[in-house]
Amino acid sequence: MRVVLISPYSGIEAAGLRSLSACLKKAGFATRMVFLPDFLEAMATKHYNARLSRPELIEQLAALCHDADLIGITVMTPSFELASWLSDALHIVSKAQILWGGIHPTVSPEECLEHADLVCVGEGERMVVELCQRMADGAAYTDVGNLGYRDAQGAVVLNALYPLEHDLDQLPFPDFDYTDHYVLHDDKIVPFTEALMHYYLTDLGSWADGPVYGVMTTRGCPYTCSYCANNAYTAIYPGWSHIRRRSPANVIAEIQSVRTRLPRISAVILRDDTFLANARDYIAEFSQLYKQEVALPFRAYTTAQTADSAKLEMLADAGLCYVIMGIQSGAQRTKKAYQRRASNQQILDAARAIHTLRAQIPRPTYDLITDNPYENDDDRFETLQLVNALPAPYRLSLYALTFYPGTDLARTAKAQGMIPTDDRSAYRRNFQIYRLDYYNLALFCHSLNLFKPLLDLMATKAIFRLCRHKPLDWLSGQALALILALRKRKNVNLFAKRRLDWLGSAQ
């Protein structure tokens, strides 16, 4: 029984798919993994799916799938079109069953079954092992938990879900043993080498000086923001909002085991949606062990409600050097629509708590959602006021509001006629590409931490109102386009340098 697992994502982390590979290996199955990263997508310089229709890609994939019985593909919404194109093409050249899993098949299994033979709804570890065991034994598998398929009449059947995996420490570490792992590199699918692994794991940001390892220490999120996939997970798994944690020792052991394979890892990202939601005693234990065993700089995510000074101090002492906090909006009306409960005062208090640690955390990032079609200029002005009050220096990450399928926000927007009932904008959209106008320019200038009196001026009501008028709004957009083009040039140069560092050849 041979399983090939394909990640169409722009980066090579694919923790979910790697976890499945590790479980399958533990159960005695051979897996091969193929990664199709794309830096230009990751750099937010283009929308998704520009990699479609490349026949040579299919030829190379077909060669890697020649002995496969099962081909697994991990699919987020913006990977849907690429996964569809790959699956349709692979169906012609391979007899293997094609199985999709990940967030998109979880929220939209029916449409995925137009291209995949099978889908996995929700968590995949137990499901995929059970499926492979049945397939290897030549036994019937249509009753496997979490499985979706079309019956002989073409009707979609979705089996009951296995309970959520509660003891995460029991799961093997994600498969970073890159033997029989392949990567799309310079238009060719080639075997991964240590240098290629290091190259593709190097973070773009300046906070880390080399390859970065991302690790998930928890699953689930206590919040249900209306635009977020966690909102969809809570609908299918009632226990989703109860965070499931790995023990600190287990997380540290994973990081250390990857470092033995990839010794140049120079920083760690705690990928959890809200790592600081962990209790103080957990964070104390984690910090102590991390400092003792790993001692690499790391970054973590928080919400305003969970950015507690005591937790931040313990983590900063252990190496926390970069914090990302979701603000999303400062407008009361918008926060209500997003189901975000942090008050602006709580947000400012959290930012000040982080700022107090500026010796260790010099420049935190605050996430903001922009381009919200529900917002008027009063809402935008409210957010700009909040941003202008944040203690500098900081970065802002701006994300264009995207209506992901399965979320409350998309359902409400469809019901209200804000987006069409068959809206597919999320299938192509890179949410890091936003509108060129004065509002986004003003936010971006704050992110650059320009001269404060200038930022104050940009955030006054009179200037804001004036610049939102057509010619000035357009001109501001052009100024923003110029700044973004300069940023892109800087990033491209960074990539060239990173290529030189890891692969020894100029791009």
Q: CB nearer to ligand SF4: give 109 or 326.
A: 326
Query: Is 11 an interacting residue with respect to ligand B12 (CB under 6 A)?
Result: yes
Angle in degrees, 0-180, between the axes of helices 470-503 and 438-447, rounded to the nearest 10: 40
Report helix, strand or coil for 87. Answer: helix
Stretch that binds ligand B12, among 11-19, 135-143, 390-398, 412-420 (CB under 6 A): 11-19
Q: CB nearer to ligand B12: give 33 or 128.
A: 128
Angle in degrees, 0-180, between the axes of helices 125-137 and 15-26, rounded to the nearest 10: 40
Query: Is 364 an interacting residue with respect to ligand B12 (CB under 6 A)?
Result: no
Q: CB nearer to ligand B12: give 145 or 391.
A: 145
Within residues 319-358, the interface with ligand B12 by CB under 6 A covers: none
CB of 378 to ligand SF4, least distance (A): 24
Question: β-strands 97-101, 147-150: how paired?
Answer: unpaired
* Cβ-count burial 237-246 (b if 16+ within 10 Å, e if not): beebeebebb
Q: What is the end-to-end Cα distance of the chain in Å, rounded?
A: 39
CB of 222 to ligand SF4, least distance (A): 7
CA distance to 362, 390, 393, 491, per residue, from 354 (Å): 9, 11, 11, 27
Among 43, 87, 96, 125, binds ligand B12 (CB under 6 A): 125
Q: CB nearer to ligand B12: give 84 or 430.
A: 430
Q: CB nearer to ligand B12: give 161 or 458.
A: 161
d(C-alpha 355, C-alpha 365), whole Å: 11
CB 341 within 8 A of CB 335: yes
Q: CB nearer to ligand B12: give 102 or 109.
A: 102
Would you state the structure tokens that stand for residue 239, as one six-digit string?
């226990």
d(C-alpha 196, C-alpha 181), whole Å: 11
Tally Cβ neighbours within 10 Å of residue 496. Answer: 13
Draw the binding track, 410-449, toward ligand B12 (x: CB under 6 A; -: no contact): --------------------xxx-----------------
CB of 326 to ligand SF4, least distance (A): 5
Query: Is 217 an interacting residue with respect to ligand B12 (CB under 6 A)?
Result: no
CB of 307 to ligand B12, least distance (A): 18
Binding residues for ligand B12, how many (CB under 6 A)? Answer: 40
CB 36 within 8 A of CB 184: yes
The partner in contact with residue 224, picked from ligand B12, ligand SF4, none with C-beta cut-offs of 5 to 8 angstroms by kind, is: ligand SF4
Report helix, strand or coil for 130. Answer: helix
d(C-alpha 255, C-alpha 234), whole Å: 29
CB of 31 to ligand B12, least distance (A): 11
CA distance to 88, 300, 303, per residue, from 343 (Å): 48, 22, 11
The partner in contact with residue 274, picked from ligand SF4, ligand B12, none with C-beta cut-offs of 5 to 8 angstroms by kind, is: ligand SF4
Residues 6 or more apart from 449 whose CB is under 8 A from it?
A: 392, 393, 394
Stretch that binds ligand B12, among 16-24, 192-200, 350-358, 483-491 (CB under 6 A): 16-24
CB of 454 to ligand B12, least distance (A): 30
Stretch that binds ligand B12, among 74-82, 309-317, 369-377, 488-496 (CB under 6 A): 74-82
Query: Is 175 an interacting residue with respect to ligand B12 (CB under 6 A)?
Result: no
The partner in contact with residue 326, picked from ligand SF4, ligand B12, none with C-beta cut-offs of 5 to 8 angstroms by kind, is: ligand SF4
Would you state the structure tokens that stand for residue 68, as one six-digit string?
């496969």
Strands (E), 239-312: 244-245, 267-270, 298-303
Give the dihedral of Cα atoms 100, 104, 105, 106; nearest 10 deg.
130
Query: Is 408 an interacting residue with respect to ligand B12 (CB under 6 A)?
Result: no
Residues engaged in binding ligand SF4 (CB under 6 A):
221, 223-225, 228, 230, 273-274, 303, 326
CB of 181 to ligand B12, least distance (A): 14
CB 160 within 8 A of CB 130: no
Would you state the structure tokens that stand for residue 444, as one six-digit string?
């971006």
Query: Is 90 an interacting residue with respect to ligand B12 (CB under 6 A)?
Result: no
Binding residues for ligand B12, rule: CB under 6 A, are: 9-11, 13-17, 19-20, 48, 72-74, 76-79, 99-104, 120, 123-125, 128, 214, 216, 228-230, 271, 273, 404, 430-432
